[in-house]
Amino acid sequence: MSDQIVNDQKMKGDSSGESAITAKPISQATQRVVAMIIGLVLLLCLALWGLHSLRPADPYVQNVLQLTGNAERGHDLFQLNCATCHGLEAAGEVGPNLQGVSARKSKSDLIIQVISGQTPPMPQFQPNEKDMADLLAFLETL
């Protein structure tokens, strides 16, 4: 009987003695379902991103962003208010290293980080708008 199986396989063009496995094509309905799922996931990601960027704008943040800061004055403000925790060169002590922080966070996020007090042990700190613009200008030089 094994000779008969081998002969049947040879007739089908398979000389290895093993049965050939054929992949079934994916139906169009399955392809459509997969495409719809991928589309819905992308749409959900886009919607979440849109909601994040449409968050209400804080007037303080908007006012600071409209000002042109003075980095030298911002350095002085940093030395008075921030250097104790972030170090004289902003390389980190109790607080994190701020070198290159403007590459990691947007201007709005930096302002919110400073004024929110939501990252202990950093205290809530809300300088006037001009001082914050100056501090932001200094942080961009790091």
- Report whether pLDDT(9) > 60: no
Q: How many CA atoms lie within 13 A of 134 on its CB side?
A: 16
One domain for residues 76 and 112: yes
Does the residue 15 lie in any domain? no
Does the residue 11 lie in any domain? no
CB burial of residue 133 (10 Å; 0-12, 13-18, 19+): buried
Does the residue 113 lie in any domain? yes
One domain for residues 120 and 100: yes
Does the residue 5 lie in any domain? no
Digit-coded pLDDT (tens) for 95-129: 999 999 999 999 999 999 999 888 888 888 889 99
Does the residue 17 lie in any domain? no
Res 59: pLDDT: 92
Res 127: pLDDT: 94
One domain for residues 44 and 108: no
Res 121: pLDDT: 85
Does the residue 12 lie in any domain? no
- Number of structural domains the chain divides into: 2
Q: What is the CATH number of the domain that holds 75?
A: 1.10.760.10
Q: Which residue has the higher pLDDT, 42 or 76?
A: 76
One domain for residues 63 and 38: no
Res 6: pLDDT: 46
Res 23: pLDDT: 74
- Report whether pLDDT(2) > 60: no
Contact 113, 46 (CB under 8 A): no
Does the residue 115 lie in any domain? yes
Q: Predicted confidence band at 74 (pLDDT cuts at 50, 70, 90)?
A: very high
The closest of 110, 125, 15 to 69, measured between CA atoms, is 110
Does the residue 68 lie in any domain? yes
One domain for residues 107 and 44: no
One domain for residues 89 and 71: yes
Digit-coded pLDDT (tens) for 21-37: 777 788 888 889 888 99
Digit-coded pLDDT (tens) for 33-72: 888 999 999 888 887 777 666 555 789 999 999 999 999 9
Which structural domain, as residue segments, surrounds residue 91?
A: 59-139
Domain limit, last residue, from 37, 54, 71: 54
User: d(Cα 75, Cα 70) in Å, to the nearest integer?
Assistant: 9
One domain for residues 71 and 48: no
φ, ψ for residue 14, nearest 5 deg:
-110, 105
